[in-house]
Amino acid sequence: MISNFKDLGVSDGIIKAMKEMGWTEPTPVQAESIPTGLTGCDMFAQAQTGTGKTGAYGSIALGLTKPGRKDPSVLVLVPTRELANQIYDEMYKLSKYTGHRSAVVYGGVGIEKQIGKLRKGTDIVIATPGRLKDLIGRNEANLSRISMVVLDEADRMLDMGFAKDLNFILGRVPSGRQTLLFSATMSPDVKKLADRMLKTPKDVIVSKDEVTAGLIKQSYIGVTKDTKQKELRMILDSGVSKTIVFCKTKRRVNQLSRNLASDYRVGAIHGDVAQNKRERTVKEFKAGTIEVLIATDIAARGLDIEGVDCAVNYDMPNDPETYMHRIGRTGRAGRDGMSVTFVLDEEKRDFMLVEKHVGMKIPVLDVRSARYEGSAAAKGVSGRNPIS
Ligand code: AMP
Sheet with 148-151: strands ordered across:
102-105, 124-127, 74-77, 148-151, 178-183, 43-46, 202-205
**Amino acid making up residue 315:** D
DSSP for 309-370, please give it.
-EEEESS--SSHHHHHHHHTTSS-TT--EEEEEEE-GGGHHHHHHHHHHHTSPPPBP-TTSH
How much helix, strand and coil, in percent to the nearest 5, is found in the chain?
45, 15, 40
Within 13 Å, how many C-alpha atoms sit on residue 156's CB side?
Answer: 28
Q: How far apart are CA 330 and CA 307, in angstroms?
A: 7
Extents of the domains making up the chain: 5-205, 210-379
- Output the pTM of the full model: 0.64
Nearest CA to ligand 1 atom 6: 50
Cα dihedral 56, 129, 316, 303, rounded to 10, equals 50
Q: Ligand 1 atom closest to Cα of 47?
A: 2
Considering only residues 298 and 232, tell me which one the structure prediction assigns the higher pLDDT. 232
What is residue 45's three-state secondary structure?
A: strand
Could you tell me the end-to-end alpha-carbon distance of the chain, in angstroms, rounded to an integer?
Answer: 40
Considering only residues 268 and 1, tell me which one the structure prediction assigns the higher pLDDT. 268
Q: How far apart are CA 12 and CA 283, in angstroms?
A: 31
Closest by Cα among 45, 353, 350, 329 to 185: 45
pLDDT band (50, 70, 90) for residue 386: very low
pLDDT (tens digit, 9 = 90+) per residue, 238-265? 877 789 999 999 999 999 999 999 999 9
CB burial of residue 154 (10 Å; 0-12, 13-18, 19+): buried
Total residue length of the chain: 388
Cα of 307 vs centre of ligand 1, distance in Å, is 11
What is residue 61's three-state secondary structure?
A: helix
Within 13 Å, how many C-alpha atoms sit on residue 130's CB side?
Answer: 13
Q: To the nearest whole number, what is the mean pLDDT of the chain?
A: 87
Cα of 66 vs centre of ligand 1, distance in Å, is 24
Number of H helices, E strands in the chain: 19, 13
Considering only residues 169 and 379, tell me which one the structure prediction assigns the higher pLDDT. 169
pLDDT (tens digit, 9 = 90+) per residue, 23-71? 888 888 899 999 999 999 999 998 877 778 999 999 999 999 999 998 9
Cα of 332 vs centre of ligand 1, distance in Å, is 7
Q: Ligand 1 atom closest to Cα of 5?
A: 19
Pocket of ligand 1 (CB under 6 A): 23, 26-27, 30, 49-55, 90, 304, 306, 332-334
Nearest CA to ligand 1 atom 20: 23
pLDDT (tens digit, 9 = 90+) per residue, 278-305? 888 988 998 889 999 999 987 666 566 6
65's CB contacts (< 8 A; 6+ apart) are 73, 74, 100, 123, 124, 147, 148
Angle at 140 between CA 137 and CA 142, to 5 degrees: 95
Most confident residue range from 2-11, 139-148, 202-211: 139-148
At residue 303, the pLDDT reads 60
Of the listed ranges 10-14, 168-172, 207-211, 363-367, the one predicted with least confidence: 207-211
| % residues pLDDT > 70 (the chain) | 87
DSSP state of 201: P
Whether the pLDDT of residue 387 is over 80: the answer is no
Longest Cα pair distance anywhere in the chain, in angstroms? 65
At residue 302, the pLDDT reads 53
Assess if CATH 1.10.287.130 describes domain 5-205: no
Angle at 31 between CA 29 and CA 36, to 5 degrees: 95
Tell me the Ramachandran region of residue 48: left when phi exceeds 0, alpha when psi lies from -120 to 50, beta otherwise.
beta
258's CB contacts (< 8 A; 6+ apart) are none
pLDDT band (50, 70, 90) for residue 2: low
Cα of 254 vs centre of ligand 1, distance in Å, is 31
Cα of 334 vs centre of ligand 1, distance in Å, is 8
Pick from 3, 51, 54 the residue to mutate for probing ligand 1's pocket: most ligand atoms within 8 Å of its CB.
54
pLDDT band (50, 70, 90) for residue 367: low
Whether the pLDDT of residue 334 is over 60: the answer is no
At residue 87, the pLDDT reads 96
Considering only residues 166 and 308, tell me which one the structure prediction assigns the higher pLDDT. 166
The mean per-residue pLDDT over the stretch 220-228 comes to 95
Considering only residues 310 and 328, tell me which one the structure prediction assigns the higher pLDDT. 310
Within 13 Å, how many C-alpha atoms sit on residue 161's CB side?
Answer: 2
At residue 276, the pLDDT reads 83
Assess if CATH 3.40.50.2000 describes domain 210-379: no
